[in-house]
Amino acid sequence: MKIEGSSAIVVGGASGLGEATVRGLHSQGAVVTISDVNDERGRALAADLGERATFEHADVTNPAEVEAAVTAAAAQTPAGLRISIHCAGVGWAEKIAGKRGPHQLEFFEKVIAINLIGTFNVLRFAASAMIANEPFDDDERGVCVNTASIAAFDGQVGQIAYSASKGGVVGMTLPAARDLSQHGVRVNTIAPGLFDTPLLAALPEEARQKLGAGVPFPQRLGQPDEYAHLACHIVENRMLNGETIRLDGALRMPPR
């Protein structure tokens, strides 16, 4: 899929991995719709980028809002929506059971709703919009990139909800790609390791350095633009389909 001139939506695009991806796509000539629940940051990013950047509010757990954002993105160019990158997600730390009793169901459900069902919502509406497109080279109509985590494979103590949600995203990847193959729509997933995002920015610098030192190579936290580079490569490489790619510097998370 050619990035230049294509309409793209980045969900969770107002900060972190999403913001870096928005900037990466925009720098390569895409017409980018930034979608997020943070209206202030999303509008500020769109204003900073200027031409070929717009903002659409969307809570990924609200199907109507997701559909509206996708529809708006598809209308940005005559060729329709071609690129969908999903970066929205949350975390929650709690053991399945302990001295305080069982894991709170409310928070398990919330993480699943945002990380897994939210990903599915974006994927189903984006794919539906792409199917209506006229095909490009190799009969390709669009590409969807979702975000999991290495916690899908190396879930740590207290990550039961997060790991389950991200494992679900990994599990959707191949069947989604197979479902959409007849329509020329590709689906891939990136599973990042430890990245320098707003979530980790809240930690003391000493703690951040310690986390980065645990990565085999390079011994540091990943940079959001490294995620963005991979997302853009997936968009452009037509043979990448149905894959989950770990982006973690060879890190395998210990139990704790």
CA distance 90 to 159: 12
In a domain, 136, yes or no: yes
Does pLDDT of 204 surpass 80? no
Burial class (CB in 10 A: 0-12, 13-18, 19+), 58: buried
138 domain residue, yes or no: yes
How many domains does one find in the chain?
A: 1
Judge if the upstream peptide bond of residue 135 is cis by omega within 30 degrees of 0.
Answer: no
- pLDDT tens digit string along 20-54? 999 999 999 999 999 999 999 999 999 999 999 99
| Domain hosting residue 44, numbered range | 7-247
What mean pLDDT comes out for the span 73-90? 97
**Helices and strands in the chain, H and E counts:** 9, 9
Report the percent of the chain where pLDDT is more than 70. 99
Looking up tokens 């329709």, which residue turns up? Answer: 80
Question: What is residue 146's predicted lDDT score, i.e. its pLDDT?
Answer: 98
Q: Could you tell me if residue 252 is inside a domain?
A: no
Residue 256 lies in a domain: no
Task: Tell me whether residue 199 is in a domain.
Answer: yes
The pTM assigned to this predicted structure is 0.95
pLDDT score at 31: 98
- pLDDT over 90 at 207, yes or no: no
* pLDDT for the residue numbered 22: 98
Position 253 in a domain: no
Q: Look up the CATH number of the domain holding residue 169.
A: 3.40.50.720
Write the Ramachandran bin of 249: left for phi over 0, alpha for psi from -120 to 50, otherwise beta. left
pLDDT of residue 73: 98
Say whether pLDDT at 202 is over 70: no
For residue 130, what pLDDT is reported? 98
In a domain, 97, yes or no: yes
Residues annotated as catalytic (active site), given as ranges: 162
The answer to whether residue 40 sits within a structural domain is yes
